[in-house]
Amino acid sequence: MKAKPAADSTLLRLAALGCVTVAAPAACTNPEPVDLLLHSGTVLVLDEAGTTGTALAVRDGKVLAVGADDLRDRYAAEREVDLRGRTAMPGFNDAHIHIRGRARRHIPLGGLSSIEELQDLVAAKADELGPGEWITGYGWSEDEVREQRRPLRADLDAAAPENPVILTRAGGHSAVASSLALSLAGVDENTPQPDGGVIERGPDGELNGVIRERQDLVSRLVPAATPEELRESFVAALRDLLRLGITSIVHAGVAPSGFGEWESVYAEFGEELPRAAVQIRWAGTEAMEAFGRMSGEGDERLRVGPLKVFVDGGFTGPAAYTKEPYRGEETYRGSLVRPEQEFRAIVREAHAMGWQFAFHAIGDAAIELAVDAFAEVLAEEPRPDHRHALNHFTVPPSDETMDRMADLGILIIQQPNFTYTLEGRYREYLDGYRVERNNPVRSAMDRGVFMVLSSDILPIGPMVGLYAATTRRGMSGEVYGPDEAISMGEALVGYTRNGAFVTREEDIKGTLAPGMLADVVVLSADPRAVDPEAILGIEVDMTIVGGRVLWEKPS
């Protein structure tokens, strides 16, 4: 329910407090003017002291005060919001997420219930575009469909025999292509396995259409979308984050040349969108020098984030680089994206240039290699408060490696929601402690490693991450490594205050302490107070950025 207009609530109350007339509130000298006041609920500041209140006052885009409901007597607000027992807390800060514009040829594939449903979407898109046009899509998962298998090229051929089709799995580390798409790309049974990837074959020895990590062998042929269609959907995707209570993000990687589009969008729409930091992918010395920017440059709306480098492949392929072979494999351990010496050279050069790191490392072997490379350059060229980080951290490395990370100040940007959504992949590819302790949180925190929580779009909604971090449950309900669970209070801090630390903004956002940016989410219930099984049902009712209500749940 929307708050009543000021003339119908706040001004009448001012008259009761001694204003000369309802029509002339300036005559009231006691209450101070503020822009927004939330009251009659629970306000979680999420500072180190654990401060809470029932009311929150905002002025000039920042938190002015948190306290009891008597703040209504101290401040006269342009808009009041009656929380009616709901919970206000710092907006979610997703420190590893992917947001991009999509072409008209694109199909969103998340949340499908069957491969038949996927085929129907592909067939409909083929009818819309006409024969010969490429069809793309993103977000399918074999764990979500009733067939409990991946779509294969035969499925795509049946749906759109006259269109080349390539559909990327949720997570982005594998894709399935139709026969026509493979043919146009020159990929067949005689194609050698590409560096850093796998072209899969079925039991009959023929290509099944799935390509791990190197789907660019096919996707390179997809015609570029027009700037207009990409921009419209890009802005829409950013706005849609507000519906999930997300007020800040770290976009996980663009080429140096891609940062300009973010600048253009934020110059035009920035006050209507979540705040953003954008990771820059390593593109070679010349390109990085030509870019001319460095981590942290920018303002509170948009800034350059950490450098991104892939150490290994993704897990959904799987191609993450592990110390032991995958379950059921004799020798296959995934792979590094580039040779070790080349990787170490990049680390050395980028560190010397002054970049902050937030590298992709999923397998335990990749994690230990990255930590060793970071340690080497920090010994050669110490940099206080570097805040280098590893994204993902799925297969737990040795305790010695975590101790080393704590000593060196290397952060983890973790996705606890993976335990929920990738449960099927872990059970298929991992065994023993590797599946039980997937995406370790508690053990790393207990060893002193700074932990940040995020989504990596699997899914974006923070409630799944909070649920998995505190219960360690997969989609089936099975619990994995219960000793890796953390408290809801720790999870909320991980999704808010700790994300601000990654981008060196902990002094301006991430809590609702006075003086901080008024980035607020109003939730239907207090996550700390509900039964764990009810966490997934908590709804976002309002999202506020800089004191402005940018999204409100329809009445």
* pLDDT score at 555: 81
Q: Which domains does the chain have, with CATH numbers?
A: 1-91+511-555 (2.30.40.10), 103-219 (3.10.310.70), 228-509 (3.20.20.140)
Find all residues with CB under 8 Å of 428, minimum gap 6, and list them: 327
pLDDT in tens, 92-101: 999 999 999 9
- Average of pLDDT values for 409-425? 96
Residue count of the chain, please give it: 555
Share of the chain above pLDDT 90, in %: 89
Find all residues with CB under 8 Å of 466, minimum gap 6, and list them: 416, 488, 491, 492, 495, 527, 535
Rounded Cα distance, 437 and 429, in Å: 14
Find the distance separating the first CA and the last CA of the chain, reported in whole Å: 5
pLDDT in tens, 435-454: 999 999 999 999 999 999 99
CA 498 to chain CA centroid, Å, is 14
pLDDT in tens, 529-553: 999 989 999 999 999 999 999 999 9
* pLDDT score at 464: 97
Confidence of residue 316 (pLDDT cuts 50, 70, 90): confident
Q: Which residues pair with 84 in a beta bridge?
A: none
Which letter does DSSP use for residue 163 in this model? Answer: S
- Average of pLDDT values for 456-469? 95
Rounded Cα distance, 478 and 308, in Å: 33
Share of the chain above pLDDT 70, in %: 95
Confidence of residue 354 (pLDDT cuts 50, 70, 90): very high
Q: What is the mean pLDDT of the chain?
A: 93
User: CA 109 → CA 136, 140, 284, 288, distances in Å?
Assistant: 10, 5, 34, 34
* pLDDT score at 380: 96
* pLDDT beyond 70 at 302: yes
Confidence of residue 406 (pLDDT cuts 50, 70, 90): very high
* pLDDT score at 103: 92
* pLDDT beyond 60 at 21: no
Residue with more model confidence, 13 or 226 = 226
Backbone angles phi, psi at 10, to 5 degrees: -60, -45
Nearest to 523 by CA among 245, 164, 129: 245
Q: What sign results for the dihedral spanned by CA atoms 452, 456, 460, 466?
A: negative
Rg (Cα) of the chain, in Å, rounded?
25
> Is residue 356 a contact partner of residue 307, using CB atoms and an 8 Å limit?
yes
* pLDDT score at 15: 46
* pLDDT score at 207: 97
Find all residues with CB under 8 Å of 436, minimum gap 6, and list them: 480, 481
SS3 190: coil
Q: At which residue do the structure tokens 């990749």 appear?
A: 366
* pLDDT beyond 50 at 229: yes
* pLDDT beyond 60 at 8: no
Rounded Cα distance, 239 and 488, in Å: 27
Tokens representing 289 are: 């020098």
Rounded Cα distance, 414 and 465, in Å: 10
- Average of pLDDT values for 287-307? 97
Rounded Cα distance, 35 and 80, in Å: 9
Rounded Cα distance, 507 and 222, in Å: 44
Tokens representing 422 are: 């990738």
Largest CA distance in the chain: 88
Rounded Cα distance, 95 and 540, in Å: 19
* pLDDT score at 314: 87
Confidence of residue 29 (pLDDT cuts 50, 70, 90): low
Range in 17-26, 142-151, 238-247 with the lowest mean pLDDT: 17-26
* pLDDT beyond 80 at 283: yes
Confidence of residue 457 (pLDDT cuts 50, 70, 90): confident
- Average of pLDDT values for 4-32? 48
Nearest to 307 by CA among 252, 234, 380, 247: 252
* pLDDT score at 317: 72
pLDDT in tens, 407-416: 999 999 999 9
* pLDDT score at 20: 34
Find all residues with CB under 8 Å of 33, minimum gap 6, and list them: 59, 75, 76, 77, 78
> Is residue 395 a contact partner of residue 369, using CB atoms and an 8 Å limit?
no
